[in-house]
Amino acid sequence: MAKIIYLNASGTPQTVDQDAPVTVMRAAIENGIDGIVGECGGQAMCATCHVYVDDRYLDRLVPIGDDEAEMLDCTAADRDDVRSRLGCQILVGGAGLDEIVVTLPSTQV
Amino acid sequence: MVTSTSTVADIVVIGAGHAGIQLVDSLRAEGFSGAIALFEAQLGVPYQRPPLSKEFMAADPASTENSAEHGVMLRGPGFLVDMEVDFRPGRAVSSVDRVARELVLTDESRFGYRRLVFATGATNRALTVPGADLGGVIGLKTLTDAEELRRRLRQADQVVVIGAGFIGLEFAAVARASGCAVTVIEFNDRPMKRALSATTGNYFAAAHRSRGIELLLGEAVESLVGDASVVTGVRTASGKSIPADLVVVGVGVTPADGLARAAGLEIDNGISVDEMLATSDPAIFAVGDCASYPMAATGDRVRLESVQNATEHARTLARVLCGRGSAYEAVPWFWSVQGGIRLQIAGLAAPGDVEVMLGNPDEAQFSVLLFRSDRLVAVESVNRAADHVAARRILAPDAACGRLTVAEVTGPAFNLKQFSRSVMATA
């Protein structure tokens, strides 16, 4: 099971629940969650699926990769050194992470 | 699906690819409340193209998670309804009547527009050698193509790719990783010649060869040979005969400008638009792969085939159509992933540009900086995302890129990321 709660910039939650593992980016697109673009299709190339991860989940994520770390310098909204991640690199419903809460930035482009 | 009997809309868009979908999205985001109609010749939901030659191709089609549209939908299923777009998939346009401001559809019905946008993309260039129509010879452009190719790849042993461009090499890398014998035939003396410097192109040639791909450069295809209408091999101009049970043709695309041409619009390597993306008819616009436009930085007319170009065009045009437009000036960027190697390009290089290497190709991490008249014009980064991010900043229209000279980057201590930070700090 994968459960993803997206909080928009004003804190309103939208929840996606599904059986199969899915990335934070892909689940947002397929469920019409506003605030995620995912222009490159999930390859950490465009930095338009930027999210701020809720503190409670940070230590359960796979470590940030070199490419992701650099591409996070391309985000339209300010990067948070601790909480910023690319949604395409966070797989939910797999090993060690069955739910997550993320806050969406004010803009992706 | 919206069932609509309208026969006119304020804005009519032809083409539901990256550009067309981004345009309707951005129009609504900009507050446009008029009627929008979207015509698309293909059936089905709008999808993303970049994964088709990469992750989608590599995924096992037998898994239910990898059903046709899984992982490549461009927007959620309710998007076009939510956007109040009158979406007409499977409806091909046969002509544009600019006097009446109407589309003429293939069933001869008509649909009126106040403003019309071509987002028609590009179509694969056909191979014109004998045997090109044999079974097992496939191009890769649409989701339907990708599904068929993915299915055939699972049964193939000997794959020949004609054309060492981005799509052909991305596919070749997937085919090789899946265990096939792969031969790539390229007419030019190095891969991706139109888009890449010699250094980066030659690096990729060596990388693909080291992974076991047979790469024939400077070689033309003479014919495809078959048995009972199914391809069995490829003959080259130099006399080589290569067995094949699957042949993929990736010899480039041509802009889908036929409708615009027939309507008498100005054509110049695609539908010619100005810096506000308007065609020679002020009621008609064009975005994405089908449109050639003057680059802000150089004034050169270019036509680019990329997601970034499609979506940035669309965002700019949405503002233009809402009366808040300004000239298009985005810095182009591109990417490719081939056999795990990440290539990122910012800016546009041209033959004759001066190359400066940062990093070390032997460590599979480097960037090639390209200078014209001692001014940085493009950066190609291989597994060096930091340089790519910095390059996008440095090449941005409001950045001080003129200050970066060949002499400045040639010192051993030069670091592009640090330079971009210093540009930002003083901007």
pLDDT tens across B107-119, in order? 999 999 999 999 9
Over residues B267-289, mean pLDDT:
98
Q: Are A56 and A49 in contact (CB under 8 A)?
A: no
For residue B4, what pLDDT band results from cuts at 50, 70 and 90? low
Please count the other Cβ atoms lying within 10 Å of the Cβ belonging to residue B300. 11
Q: Has residue A43 been placed in a domain?
A: yes
Q: What is the pLDDT of residue B205?
A: 98
Q: How far is it, in rounded angstroms, from Cα B260 to Cα B237? A: 37
> B1 vs B31, which has greater pLDDT?
B31
What pTM value is reported for the model?
0.95
Strand partners, B357: B368
The total of structural domains in chain A comes to 1
Q: Has residue A92 been placed in a domain?
A: yes
> Containing H/E element for B21?
helix B18-29
3-state secondary structure of B294: strand
Q: Has residue A27 been placed in a domain?
A: yes
**CB-neighbour burial class of residue B99 (10 A; exposed 0-12, middle 13-18, buried 19+):** exposed
| B347: its two tokens | 């800016």
| A26: its two tokens | 């892909």
- B396 — contact with chain A (CB < 8 Å)? no
- Chain B residues in contact with A16 by the CB 8 A cut-off are none
Q: Residue B260 to residues A26, A108, B420: CA-CA distances in angstroms? A: 35, 33, 42
- Give me the long-range contacts of B236-239 (CB less than 8 A, separation at least 24): B236/B185
Chain A: residue whose CA lies nearest to B65: A20
pLDDT in tens, A30-83: 999 999 999 999 999 999 999 999 999 999 999 999 999 999 998 999 999 999
Chain B: residue whose CA lies nearest to A23: B71
- B183 — contact with chain A (CB < 8 Å)? no
End-to-end Cα, chain A, rounded Å: 31
pLDDT in tens, A2-38: 999 999 988 999 999 999 899 999 999 999 999 999 9
Q: Are B131 and B231 in contact (CB under 8 A)?
A: yes
Over residues B12-23, mean pLDDT:
98
Q: Has residue A26 been placed in a domain?
A: yes
**Polymer length of chain A:** 109
Q: What is the pLDDT of residue A59?
A: 93
3-state secondary structure of B380: strand
The residue among B365, B426, B366 whose CA lies nearest residue B401 is B426
Within 8 A by CB and 6+ apart from B99, the residues are: none
The percentage of chain B sitting over the pLDDT mark of 90, rounded to a whole number, equals 87
Q: Has residue A108 been placed in a domain?
A: no
Q: Has residue A109 been placed in a domain?
A: no
Q: What would you report as the CA-atom Rg of chain B, rounded to the nearest whole angstrom?
A: 23
State the smallest CA–CA distance between residue A102 and chain B in angstroms.
Answer: 19
Q: Has residue A50 been placed in a domain?
A: yes
Over residues B331-358, mean pLDDT:
96
For residue B65, what pLDDT band results from cuts at 50, 70 and 90? low
- A31 — contact with chain B (CB < 8 Å)? yes
User: Which residue segment(s) compose the domain that A86 sits in?
Assistant: 2-103
pLDDT in tens, B67-86: 556 689 999 989 999 999 99
* Out of B65, B77, B82, closest to residue A20 by CB: B65
Is B78 close to A32, i.e. CB distance below 8 A?
A: yes
CATH number where A97 lies: 3.10.20.30
Q: Is B3 a residue whose pLDDT tops 70? A: no
- A65 — contact with chain B (CB < 8 Å)? no
Q: Has residue A60 been placed in a domain?
A: yes
Q: Are B301 and B268 in contact (CB under 8 A)?
A: yes
Domains of chain B: 8-45+74-123+254-321 (3.50.50.60), 126-251 (3.50.50.60), 340-426 (3.30.390.30)
Chosen from A70, A75, A89 to mutate, greatest number of chain B CBs within 10 A: A70
Q: What are phi and psi of A4, to 5 degrees?
A: -125, 125
For residue B401, what pLDDT band results from cuts at 50, 70 and 90? low
Q: What is the pLDDT of residue B38?
A: 98
State the smallest CA–CA distance between residue A31 and chain B in angstroms.
Answer: 5
Q: Alpha-carbon torsion B300, B336, B45, B41, what sign?
A: positive
ipTM greater than 0.85 = yes
Q: What is the pLDDT of residue A10?
A: 87
Over residues B317-344, mean pLDDT:
96
Chosen from A43, A66, A88 to mutate, greatest number of chain B CBs within 10 A: A43
Q: What is the pLDDT of residue A9?
A: 83
- A27 — contact with chain B (CB < 8 Å)? no
The residue among A68, A61, A69 whose CA lies nearest residue A92 is A61
3-state secondary structure of B73: strand
Interface of B with A in 333-352 (CB under 8 A): 335, 337, 342, 344
The residue among A104, A109, A106 whose CA lies nearest residue A85 is A104
Over residues B343-372, mean pLDDT:
95
- Chain A residues in contact with B389 by the CB 8 A cut-off are 70-71, 73-74
